[in-house]
């Protein structure tokens, strides 16, 4: 069985907590999907697929599965619409919001053409903890 998309986690390179975190989120797609999940509050496969960065469906599916296995996301069939599958972030995923917001801050500072929802940009730099609390409550936590 050859692996075509990333289905497993890479081996730990060290026990440094930063290195550990990077072994999980240190790639081009993981934090993009997490951004959509935690900050943009996307819930359905099609919504993730529709992002500007244009992730491929197989890559997205692999990431969502990885998240499920790692306990970042719960997966359930939407009770209201028979077929839709609903993804919900867990605590472990929401705990990455500070990382996302710091990346956003840095990106905003050094990328002239940066473009993101104003209240998030503002919140990230002026009232980070408040914004996180607000997002948490929107997620029901």
> For binding to a copy of itself (CB under 8 A), which residues are involved?
10, 13-23, 25-28, 31-32, 35, 51-54, 92, 95-96, 98-100, 102-111, 113-116, 121
Question: Number of residues in contact with DNA, rule: CB under 7 A?
Answer: 28
- Burial class of residue 112, CB neighbours in 10 A (0-12, 13-18, 19+): exposed
DSSP reduced 3-state for 136: helix
71: left (phi over 0), alpha (psi -120 to 50) or beta: left
Plot region of 2 (φ>0 → left; ψ -120 to 50 → alpha; else → beta): beta
Please, which of residues 57-96 interact with DNA by CB under 7 A? 57-59, 61, 64-65, 75, 78, 83-85, 87
Residue 56 sits in the site that holds DNA (CB under 7 A): yes
> What residues make contact with DNA under the rule CB under 7 A?
2-6, 8, 10, 27-29, 44-46, 54-59, 61, 64-65, 75, 78, 83-85, 87
């Amino acid at each position: 069985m050859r692996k075509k998309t990333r289905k497993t986690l890479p081996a730990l390179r060290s026990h440094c907590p930063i290195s550990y975190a990077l072994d999980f989120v240190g790639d081009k797609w993981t934090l993009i999907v997490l951004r959509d999940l935690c900050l943009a509050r996307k819930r359905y496969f099609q919504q993730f697929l529709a992002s500007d960065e244009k992730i491929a469906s197989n890559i997205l599916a692999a990431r969502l599965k990885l998240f499920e296995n790692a306990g970042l996301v719960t997966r359930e069939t939407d009770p209201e619409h028979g077929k839709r599958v609903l993804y919900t972030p867990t605590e472990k995923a929401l705990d990455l919001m500070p990382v996302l917001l710091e990346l956003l801050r840095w990106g905003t500072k050094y990328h002239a053409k940066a473009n993101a929802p104003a209240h998030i940009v503002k919140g990230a730099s002026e009232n980070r903890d408040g914004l996180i609390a607000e997002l948490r409550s929107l997620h029901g936590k």
